Amino acid sequence: LQSPAEPPVAVETLEDVPEHVLRGLPEDVRLFPSAVDKTRLGVWATKSILKGKKFGPFVGDKKKRSQV
């Protein structure tokens, strides 16, 4: 018996990320493939971030949880 072919899985890439998001990333923070879900991008620190470090100001549109 042959198993049915799995449909291709869409993978999120940097090209899918709006430019304002990339510009607004804090220093030493990058987007790379997620360690949790390989089809998505994750946020990675390139060096340790001290507890209590604040980032901002953020750019973009505020969204409700149900919109993301």
Q: Is 29 a domain residue?
A: yes
**pLDDT digits 0-9 by tens, 5-34:** 666 678 899 999 988 888 888 888 999 999
Print the domain residue range for 41.
1-47
**pLDDT digits 0-9 by tens, 26-62:** 888 999 999 999 999 999 999 999 999 888 777 677 8
Q: What whole-number distance in Å separates Cα of residue 30 and Cα of residue 23?
A: 11
Q: Is 59 a domain residue?
A: no
Domain count, the chain: 1
Q: Is 55 a domain residue?
A: no
Cβ neighbours of residue 16 closer than 8 Å, sequence gap 6 or more:
41
CATH of the domain at 21: 2.170.270.10
- What is the per-residue pLDDT for 4? 65
Q: Is 62 a domain residue?
A: no
* pTM of the predicted protein model: 0.62
Q: Is 40 a domain residue?
A: yes
Cβ neighbours of residue 10 closer than 8 Å, sequence gap 6 or more:
39
DSSP 26-38: PTTEEEEE-SS-T
Q: Is 14 a domain residue?
A: yes
Q: What angle do CA 64, 65, 66 make, to 5 degrees?
A: 90
pLDDT category, 63, cuts 50, 70, 90?
Answer: confident
